[in-house]
Structure 1
């Protein structure tokens, strides 16, 4: 959900007129009445809600039928999946599409960074799902009947999602190790009480982009890293993989051979399954049993926390809105602003973002 009663109340106070599709917030725990009380108008369906709008907030890019219902020239702000986007339908309707995924990693844009807020939830939920599938105690327990050893959790990829996964596993009492190709991750992992594992060669030292993302590593580095982690994975109870490369398929981190070395009852949670997966055995939104090892692929973990995911995303949109509106609340795309420029995909019937032109 791209709005909550809290953010609607603030938008109305700022002079905006808000229309919400009936039932849109039900799954997240926000009934129509809560939006009405916050000052919104409730429309019978999405087409009615979008009719006459200057700006449309959505969670995901519109489907074909939803696109047809959007007013021509409207500003659309959503998680647009820009690297896989077909811009032609947007341009046909002269829609100004802004992608929340392209929020630049600068201080001024932190409150608008939807990827970070959703990744935090995803990392947390990945560990909760993994613990549930694992089905055994996570912390060490000393009882009159004997001692239960703590679960061993290995997190692969220490970005926002990975760091939250590490923190959550630690809070649950697990022994946690982690790996990442970015040098900056080593200190971050250690600060959370986990042990860092990586091949620290010259390529590793230059493995981070200016935007803070991981670069795609060479085949040679991947082979060395795989060798280092293979023996380690065999001893783990839960492996959480989080590695994504913007605009590229997810790298394979856990091979079929590695899975075969894991003990029955172990769990792999593949957070990159929607981009091809970090494990070739994972399937979107399924738990696959491979010789007793459970391989779980979750394509939308934040949706398993709908109230929190909606609340954070709505606040990201609320923070971004002033950059595309004038003081009187009317639509005003400031294309001189570096944040707007980075996020703007299409405008006036043309694709304007260099990152999706090719």
Structure 2
């Protein structure tokens, strides 16, 4: 089997596989062909890939020769049209959100895997790109907030007086939120966190943060640890609690998302208008609408004296370690797909393979995605 590694677009600095991962694959009798310059932005040179056992080729040649194509992001229209039925596509393309893309893949008969569909199981943890990249995002978001803030994060007691610590409010206590909490605490801030899932309260408190609790949240064990849509009554109580805490915060880190849906609105413009001048909002949910009503994706705006950063791809700003983590997730997944002779083995009785495969032989086979696109009457 020949794996083709593609270079990402100009707005992405990561690469799906670093040379160290390629070396692991070649040792498993898997041939790897890398697009020229694929790892440049992640400080991985073509020569490093060659030393790892890969060949370097143009994009055209990689697309023509590879049996199995790997990237981080979804392919564009031109790339989709160049894929053949015999080829397999692997990336992170959010199939619950990008349903039109799923339909295109199915219509062209292309077998595709989306790494953000990895089952949320103990076995799947080592392949979970959402968690690994959320770790990077949560960490980087707090550092970015500190850079934008006009005050210190920690308390300082000096001859010139005492500087009070910054107050940080984290909305959403998933992987990104928990990493944001831990990073803000390490920087000396007072941290509060909100999440509709009561199960995360203990984790939040173990990191030294105060948990903002609103009673009456609906939870669903079948959601795989993600938040679910809430009742209108709960949303009103939730909104009041968040507004009150945001008004006192110096920094708000927004991380709340629901797979396949627009990000929940947690900070309406009225709440932003109540915040202190000079406060900072970092919205990690910008690409799916944002948790803040005033967020603009991939832009930084100032409203009511509050700086609002709409950034949903912080991992691209830490390309070396983010690529290392992403690539390790990919390698762990490929080890499920590849036999001892380096050949592809699609065993759909395996829950990891079945759960991560979105389209195959002209059909949408992922049950969750199929339900989202073709809901039952």
Q: What TM-score, normalized by structure 2, do the two folds share?
A: 0.91
Alpha-carbon distance in 1 for matches of 2:220, 2:364? 30
What is the CA deviation profile of residues 222-276 of structure 1, one whole-angstrom value per residue up to 9, with x for unaligned ones?
A: 1001112222111100000110001111111011111010110001111111111
Gaps of at least 5 residues in structure 1 are none
Alignment of 1:62-211 (within 5 A): 62-83=75-96, 84-85=98-99, 86-201=101-216, 203-204=217-218, 206=219, 209-211=222-224
Q: Residue 172 of structure 2 contacts residue 195 of structure 2 at CA under 8 Å; is this kept in 1?
A: yes
SS at structure 1 position matched to 2:227: coil
Query: Higher mean Cα deviation, 135-144 or 95-104?
Result: 135-144
For the residue of structure 1 that corresponds to 2:72, the secondary structure is strand
Offset, 1:210 = 4.6
Residue 339 in 1 paired to residue 352 in 2?
Answer: yes
Which TM-score applies when normalising by structure 1? Answer: 0.96
Residue 345 (structure 2) pairs with residue 329 (structure 1): no
Q: Distance in 2 between matches of 1:197 and 1:75?
A: 45
Partner of 2:45: 31
Q: Write the distance in 1 (CA, Å) between the matches of 2:49 and 2:115.
A: 23
Structure 2 counterpart of 1:275, from 275, 288, 292:
288
1:7 aligns with 2:56: no
Change beyond 3 A, Cα 1:352–1:53? same
Cα contact 1:209–1:215 (8 A) shared by 2: no
Q: Check whether the contact 1:101–1:115 (CA below 8 A) recurs between aligned residues.
A: yes
The alpha carbon displacement at 1:76 in A equals 1.2
RMSD over aligned CA atoms reads 1.3
| Partner secondary structure for residue 42 of structure 2 | coil
Given that 1:182 and 1:208 are in contact with CA atoms closer than 8 Å, whether structure 2 keeps it comes out as: no
Matching residue within 263, 266, 270 for 2:276: 263
* Structure 2: runs of 5+ lacking an equivalent: 1-14
Change in 2 beyond 3 A, CA 1:210/1:66: closer
Correspondence 1:41 to 2:55: yes
Which of 187, 209, 225 pairs up with 2:238? 225
